[in-house]
Copies of this chain bind each other. A is one copy, B any other.
Amino acid sequence: MSRPLYRQIYERMREDILAGRLSHGDRLPSIRQMTRDSGVSRTTVETAYEQLCADGLVNCVPQSGYYVNQLPRRRERVHTAEPQPQKPRYDFSGKYLDPTSFDFDIWRRLSRAVMQDSASFLGYGDCQGEYELRRQIARYLSAGRGVYASAENVVIGAGIQTLLSILCEMFDKSGRRIAFEDPGFQKGLRIFRDHNYEIVSVPGGASGIDIRALYESGANMLYISPSHSFPSGATLPLDKRLKLLEWAQSTGDGILFEDDYDGELRYTGKPLATLSSLDANGQVIYLGTFSKLLPPSIRISYAVLPDVLVPEYLRIAQRYNQTSSTMEQLTMARFIEEGRLEKQVRRLRRIYGRKNEAITRALDRQFGALATVRPNDTGLHLNVSLRISERADSLCARAEEHGLRIIPLSSYRTEGAESETADLYLSCAGIAEKDIEPAIRLLRELCS
């Protein structure tokens, strides 16, 4: 189909205006003149000019003619060049996955297979998540995490934040006060704040949450990662877990958000019982993610709700469209079904266990007694406290300039408590094994 004549005239004039060949205040050729020059009908030219007026590019001044308008400011903007990717040489931020940690070929093969069935992709997707994936997650969790659920208890979204923003709407906010550990998971806290929850901080840190402070806080919700506290690294022992459940019961309708973001990645010893597996009263909402096991660009997180909360979730979730890509959800379902996820967890456990040891050794070699490292038996990150005179945030800013990305622990603090040491958060997910030694050596050089 060729474009209609009026459209050709309209587009040529518009280009002249946008390119600056016609500028503010210029008069367009009169309709009569344009009709003569172009050999088209008067109506065609009028239609083109009306369209330019409708676009706001041109003004019609009665009895005088058509004049080019002042263009909105942003049209003058120069298109800038592609921003340089800011990937540093050495990355301990945990925002990237080291490419050797994941076999993309398997993922490609599975997504190709999944995409053959076009019929699965015609709608917005189940607001609770694709049934097939929920079923696989339920199976995976019963086998690996002692979380016993069926597909009906599982809900899926593109990241924990999206899930939280729906979960937030399930409760009467005015009667709720939620406790977060400090330092804690700021990206989660943010969602509760956006949704107008009252938030309190409870001391956390290396020794785990202060339960007496939790009681005193008056909170009736708690967000916590008992397997591996984020970012401070504590693992809660069983007796403290049971005390948390006791606390939830003592509040009546208290809710524990158990964020098990890297619970699979325990290197030594036995995995500990999740709060969810200990919960007999339907007070634990279990949160999990694949962002720590697979490349995080695959946006799938999940929550497991106790039976009593499922109907209310479904009522609320109708109001929100699913955010996670159906294609990725169905690929993930196959990935679990074929046993690939369990293999990937074992693979990462080996790699990360080795890397965490290498980081610990390198810190020891370079810093000796100046560094205290903890823990190295679980998860993707460890924390180090350096007894140096510089503050952690200033050290990390200087390191960034030298291509070394490390996050100061203070950036996860709700209240800006000062520390006597420079406390750093080091994730092993993104750094290649061979880079660990030179990266820590560089850190050492920057400290002297």
Q: Known: A74-B153, A270-B50. Contact between A118 and B99, CB under 8 A?
A: yes
Check: A124 CB closer than 8 A to any chain B CB. yes
A252 at the interface (CB under 8 A from B): no
Is A31 engaged at the interface, CB distance under 8 Å to the other chain? no
A-B contact pairs, 19 of them (CB 8 A): A55-B146, A56-B278, A71-B148, A72-B281, A73-B307, A80-B151, A95-B124, A96-B123, A97-B123, A158-B158, A158-B325, A162-B323, A165-B194, A194-B194, A194-B195, A196-B196, A299-B322, A299-B323, A325-B327
Q: Which of A203-211, A290-298, A370-378 lies at the interface with chain B? A: A290-298
Q: How far is the CA of A296 from the CA of B125 in the complex (A)?
A: 8
- A376-416: CB near B (< 8 Å → 1, else 0) gives 00000000000000000000000000000000000000000
Chain A, 122-157, CB within 8 A of any chain B CB: 122-125, 131, 135, 138, 142, 146, 148-153
Q: Are B96's CB and A122's CB within 8 A? A: yes
Contact with A187, one of B98, B123, B319 (Cβ below 8 angstroms): B319
The stretch of A107-115, A176-184, A216-224 that contacts the partner chain: A107-115
- Candidates B53, B77, B282, B307; contact of A307 at CB < 8 Å: B77
Query: Is there contact, CB below 8 Å, between B79 and A104?
Result: no
Of B70, B149, B159, which contacts A321 at CB under 8 A?
B159
A56 to B274, CA, bound (A): 9
Query: Does A30 count as interface, using CB distance less than 8 angstroms?
Result: no
Pair B121/A297 contact, Cβ less than 8 Å: yes
B124 touches A291 (CB 8 A): yes
Q: Is A199 an interface residue (CB 8 A)?
A: no
Nearest-Cβ distance from residue A153 to partner chain B, whole angstroms: 7
Closest-CB distance, A331 to chain B (whole angstroms): 10
Question: How many monomers of this protein are in the complex?
Answer: 2
Whole-angstrom CA separation of A319 from B190 in the bound complex: 7
A270 vs chain B, min Cβ distance (A): 5
Given A159-B323, A195-B196: 19 more A-B contacts, CB < 8 Å: A18-B148, A55-B277, A56-B273, A72-B148, A72-B306, A74-B148, A74-B282, A74-B307, A77-B152, A79-B135, A79-B138, A80-B152, A122-B296, A158-B162, A158-B323, A161-B323, A190-B319, A194-B195, A323-B323
Would you list which residues of chain A between 285 and 314 have a CB under 8 Å from chain B?
A: 291, 295-299, 306-307
Chain B contacts of A190 at CB under 8 A? 319-320
Contact A51 B122 (CB under 8 A): no
Q: Measured between C-beta atoms, what is the minimum distance from A211 to chain B in Å?
A: 19
Partner of A298, one of B75, B121, B152, B280: B121
With a cutoff of 8 Å between Cβ atoms, the chain B residues found around residue A131 in the complex are: 82-83
Q: For the complex, give the distance between the alpha carbons of A122 and B96 in Å.
A: 5
When C-beta atoms are compared, the residue in chain B nearest to A107 turns out to be: B115
User: A168 near B: Cβ within 8 Å?
Assistant: yes
Q: Are A72 and B158 in contact (CB under 8 A)?
A: no
A272 interface residue, CB < 8 Å from B?
yes
A306's partner among B50, B74, B97, B159 (CB-CB below 8 A) is B74
Contact B77 A150 (CB under 8 A): yes
Residue of B nearest to A168 (CB): B194
Q: How far apart are A88's CB and chain B's nearest CB, in angstroms?
A: 12
Known: A54-B270, A291-B124. A280 touches B70 (CB 8 A): yes
Q: Shortest distance in angstroms between A5's beta carbon and chain B's nearest beta carbon?
A: 13
Q: Is the CB of A104 within 8 A of B121?
A: yes
Bound CA span A161–B318, Å:
13
Chain B residues within 8 Å of A277, by CB:
55-56, 72
Query: Are the CB atoms of B119 and A161 closer together than 8 Å?
Result: no
Q: Tell me if A324 is interfacial: C-beta within 8 Å of chain B.
A: yes
- Does A427 count as interface, using CB distance less than 8 angstroms? no
Q: A125-B297, A297-B122, A325-B325 are in contact. Are A80 and B150 (CB under 8 A)?
A: yes
Chain B proximity of A305: nearest CB distance (Å): 9
Q: A326 at interface (Cβ–Cβ under 8 A)?
A: yes
Cβ proximity bits A12-52 to B, threshold 8 Å, 1 near / 0 not: 00000010000000000000000000000000000100110
* Cβ contacts under 8 Å, A291 to chain B: 124
In Å, the complex CA distance between A146 and B321 comes to 28
Contact flag A169-B148 (CB < 8 Å), given A111-B115, A307-B77, A324-B299: no
